[in-house]
Chains A and B, each alone.
Chain A
Amino acid sequence: MRSDTIAPLGRDLGWMLRVLGWLILVSVVVPLVWGEYYAIPGLVISGLVPVAIGWGLSTAFADADSPDKLHGMMIAATGWFAIAVFGSLPFLTVAWIATLTPGGLGLATPPLTESLTVFTNPLNAIFESMSGFTGTGLTMAEDESTLPRTLQWWRSLIQWVGGVGVIVLTTAILARPGSGSLTLYKSEARSQKIHPSIVSTVQTIWWIFLLFTSLSILLLWLAGLPPWQAINHGMTAISTGGFSVIDGSIGAYDSVVIEAVLLPIMIAGGIAFPVHYLVLQGDLRGLYTDLQTRWLAAVLVVGSVFLWLLVSPAYDSVMEAFRYGVFQFVSALTATGFQTATEPAPLSLAVWPTSALLTLVFAMVVGAAAGSTAGGIKLIRLIMLVKGIRFRVSYVFYPDSTVHRLWIDDRVLDEEEGPREFGEAAIIALLWFVFLATSLFVLLMTLPSETYPLEMILFEIASAQGNIGLSAGITGPESLPTAGKLAFILNMWIGRLEIIPILVTLRALFWRGGIYE
């Protein structure tokens, strides 16, 4: 690979690893507070490794040029993968310390539950880390409540940071002016700006995110959650992550109040940050004139009612169907992944009608607004595809001399912009389905035959790739084969970065890296 590519890649990767390392080291406060002293050596080692590697890289390539578009995409793709790999170290080290020194070192270790020992397998640890950082929420832990508080915190923290973005965090901390920061920002599947300066934009995003996180935590506490659960669920709800610290996700509370409180938090997470900023500025027009927010409201209402009708026959009462149908649709569309249709609820997702599961698959593929913390192909692309197809069809009915304009909200796209933006949306959507189909093939080949119906497998893959986290029961340390775990790690990675940066990176590695030459 050429040195002009390696230098900016090495420098920015180094800074991302340094930030990750410090996040791990700061988390040492948690085992200190909870008396889980055995976890401290694991966290310190896990933090020092990325800090040292990151320091070496960022120092060696300190004079690198600003990243261009290719570098930006490569930094995003390799950075997110490296973050997931190094972010798995706390799971791995804490699990191994507990396994190798039960009651040893004079530090009381936790009971060796299955949920903890699964993380002695590096693949499970990387899966959990990738699921966390990408805001997916699928987990290898059978019972999250038995995990040490240290690991519960680490799971919540990585979802919280990942919701806004690792690069956004690094950019906010470095506050490096210039076009390089903008290039990196765009590579992390973001494009909206709040201010002309990208550094100001990311700092405002964090400002809003911190305020909303506090509000979410306090709302959940007021709804009846204990402080620790309110803090963790508040962080994973506003970041639309979906990790829980109890077994059975939100359904385990069996509380209408908690579910009602979570609905606006999840929806807030699915709205773009610039819209939040406008509302905080006193401009309510930002909420109801924004195209994506209008579509989000419409899809939420129509989809929730549709799902309610589909699941109604399966439940004893219409109100019960309404409660579970609405919550699951909002959770799926906003990419949160909190689950209420699970034990002790009357019906789990696995026994929902096929039509209901496929409705959720649609929500998980589409996702919420671009510029929010949500996953999926994003509403703006769905809007572009719908309007673009309507434009192409209506084109035939007019004379050749007619001047055609494609309208997207208040933007008028000319004959060059229209096809380009429609093409970009179509490419992302097509690639989305290609990777869904590829993983479907892998799971059909590796899962025990006739164990899971096709719609459940499709549901699980859409959940992984859309960074949602709802599960029909396939994901687990034993139930998901190794090939399936690898496929899901890939799905979560490409889903978070919206595919293109990863394909660009692979092409650059194959061609410029000399593999084909």
Chain B
Amino acid sequence: MSRRHYRSRLLTWVLNSGPDDPVYNLYLMLGPLLILFVVLVGRNSMTSVLVAGYIVGFVVYTIYNVSTTLEHPDWVQHP
């Protein structure tokens, strides 16, 4: 399996397995990279702002998403 093919499989999995939302897909891929970044760079004002922005952005987008979504996926089986 070529490295390129492996990357495309990973990307395909990310795009196909989530809630079909490009913002959340981006969040999933950025999360581990951001963790790696704070591990390598350490705690400073820049990394703190980046991490705070990541978390606040997630919360704000989720609120925005639920307030603007009118169609509900009825095919999802409620537990």
Contact = CB atoms under 8 A, between A and B. Distances in A.
Interface of A: 192-196, 200, 203-204, 206-208, 210-211, 213-215, 217-219, 221-222, 227, 231, 272, 274-275, 277-286, 289-290, 292, 369-371, 380, 409-410
Contacts of A203: 13, 16-17
Contacts of A279: 62, 66
Max chain A C-beta neighbours (<10 A), residue from B20, B51, B78, B79: B79
B24 A278 contact: no
Contacts of A200: 17
Nearest to B32: A214
Q: Which 10 A-B pairs have the closest CB atoms?
A: A214-B31, A282-B69, A280-B19, A207-B17, A284-B66, A203-B17, A192-B79, A282-B65, A272-B79, A283-B72
A289 B48 CA distance: 36
A203 B16 CA distance: 9
Given A217-B35, A227-B39, A278-B73, A283 B28 contact: no
Contacts of A206: 17
A210 B31 contact: yes
- Scoring A207, A274, A279, A282 by chain B CB atoms within 10 A of each residue's CB, the highest score goes to A282
Contacts of B72: 278, 281-283, 285
Interface of B: 13-14, 16-21, 24, 27-28, 31-32, 34-35, 38-39, 43, 48, 51-52, 54-55, 58, 62, 65-66, 68-69, 72-73, 75-79
Contacts of B34: 214, 218
A194 B66 contact: no
A232 B69 CA distance: 35
Contact of A211 (B28, B43, B73): B28
Contacts of A409: 78
Contacts of A210: 28, 31
Q: Is the interface of A mostly helix, strand, loop or mixed?
A: helix
B51 A222 contact: yes
A149 to B, nearest CB: 13
A141 B19 CA distance: 40
Contacts of B35: 214, 217-218, 221, 227, 231
B21 to A, nearest CB: 7
A172 to B, nearest CB: 9
A275 B52 CA distance: 25
B18 to A, nearest CB: 5
B78 A274 contact: yes
Contact of B76 (A215, A277, A370): A277
A217 B27 CA distance: 14
A192 to B, nearest CB: 4
Contacts of A213: 31
Given A210-B31, A279-B62, A289-B78, 13 more contacts: A193-B77, A211-B24, A214-B31, A218-B35, A218-B51, A218-B55, A227-B35, A227-B39, A277-B19, A281-B76, A282-B69, A292-B79, A371-B79
